[in-house]
Structure 1
Amino acid sequence: MLHSFTWNMTGYILKHAVNPHGDSIIPYVAERIFQLEPEPPMVDSPNEYILSAVQEKDLMYFSFFLHHYEPQLNKRIKSFLGVDGGNLYDTDRFIDIKLSCREQMLQKLMDYDPAKGAEYATYIFPFIRDAMLRFRMGEEKWSVSSLTNYKMVRSMAWLYHNTKDAVSEFSKKYNCDFALAEEYLRVVRGIRNQQPFYVTDEDGEETGEDVALDDTWNYSDILWNGIQAEKVQRAFDKLNYREQTLLEKRLAICMTCGHVGSWKGRPTFEELAVMFEGSTASGAERAYRRAVDKLTELLVAEGAIHAVRLKQKSKTKRKKKIATAIYEYQADCDGEWGQISFDFENGTSEIVRLADWDTMKTNRFANKAIAYLLNCENEKLPKETIVAFEL
């Protein structure tokens, strides 16, 4: 156990101060937090440091190894961040990941057996990747209970996105029954729209391809999310052929089998217009928006979602921007309209009158309307729209 080790760095200091100017850590320093001064004693191979650390039970030699291994570790972390979907160089996060890797390297130090022929840098390679995945697993709001399950979820995501029968392929790959494979597929479908989701290929390496949908509401969010599927199907069946086609094509979803395809390959409004002769791109887009609104109303009627309908009653402009406006709102597309006054210059609002079905205590529908409109870009403030939200 490592508690029997010493870690005395007397005579050595960090070569670069972590925070020399009182500001955030600069990238140059973030990549050199393990560098020592003076230089560690010369050896033929950095692996000799690890052997000395284990034999002498002195982690000073482990620090010597990190001094030489740091450039390689930096390269691995940068590769990981390159497909991570966030800020590619958030130095605080970079260092947090690096320290997580160092902790994993320390934990695995006692398990390293040089007699098996591999140098420590080779032996530790997969464990560093696990450390980075575990770090991100802790950040993601959809995370599962273990790193093993986390990897299997990502493996299913890759199969789902790249094969015709993900359940069969997953069952074959992991030698499991179809019921377990279908459970992993359900998990993948459930997390698709929570945040960017970068999948792994069949060798376990990340592809850098984001298979998540965008953050606007659409019915595919609800379709495969638990018990709502039957309600969505009933609502969808009430649409006409053109409305169904526009939604399936534009949202890259098949309502027959439930497969959600990549949004990269979905048709543009120009291409949708060609499918319906006599239409223009703008006409196809308007038809699509109407289909979305109609489906929203049907889903509200089914009890699958809530929605607030908004209608701009009046507005005043200042320097070509809407300064103030009065919006009427309707709860769940039914009943008497309420009214909300907005001051967009100051980012404030006032509920003038509550709509039917909106509660005096929570103002749930009014608050949804306020949050939506105050977060809209000024030039995109709608004259009329429907904002859907989950139960």
Structure 2
Amino acid sequence: MSHIEKKEFEIYRISPPPPKWDFQEYMRQYVQTGDDKYFYWFLHYYEPTLNEKAKSFRNKYSMEEHFADIKQSLVTGLCKALINYDISIAPFLPYAQRYMEREAHNYIRTMRTGYSVQSEFEYARLRKVMDIFNHSGGEFTEETISQVATQIGESDEKTKSIIEGGILTENYTDVQSNDEDDTGTTDFLLPDSSLNPENIYFKQKLYDKLYEAYDGLEYTEKMMLAQHLGFCPECFSTRYADKTDLDENGKPKEKPIKPLPYTDIATDHGFSDANTAKRVCERAMSIIKAVIK
């Protein structure tokens, strides 16, 4: 790793280190005092997680030179989340996840090599057009273009241009090194199904609804449901880094978060029996299902 790359991983490092608290405590102090230092203290300790998130986006979308900018977009999401954050309703990090993802995708949408879309409206339209196009057979013919144009209310020429951009987005991605210690890169093109606008559209719609539903739960419901289903209530990951079990490179192995039985969940939250924990989780699931229908 070069000196410049190392600096990108330590943008928010403070020396000497600030007091180490629970992440939520930094947010509580910030909300109560309005002092920016608490947010900077939070970033100091949250930066390793930011780095992992930024690397994940960088690797998935083959944007090797964009790590620092993607990381900054995630921090922008955190700042926007703080604007309307009500500390009495929910912990900050689960609340902020949608904001972070939205900002990262906005950056990728405009800066990714191959095809850039200039506004969120155009990006939404692109996803809609490609959804119709693919359901119409996915053949780039005058007949299909005319069918799509009729459904979106655009001219055939304009619709053709949109579809061409969508096809480019689906199939044009420069494959590059994903790891800091790799020196070689490849210079050929491969199809990237993860960038299919239709898939992105429906996945993002589902994720937004799920986050909205989860945010609407009470704090205890969120924690118990996360334990029952086996995911992190802060980052929604289903895996964790086991620092007691290292791989051959000395890095913690990633392991799945195991769902807890109702008896253990009840004990963690001070309930007398497993049936109470079960009822809470079932109620939370019914609320979420009602929102995403």
**TM band (smaller chain):** 0.3 to 0.5
Greater per-residue helix proportion? 2
When the two structures are superposed, what TM-score results if normalisation uses the length of structure 1? 0.36
> Which has the bigger relative contact order, CA under 8 A and spacing at least 6?
2
Greater per-residue strand proportion? 1
When the two structures are superposed, what TM-score results if normalisation uses the length of structure 2? 0.47
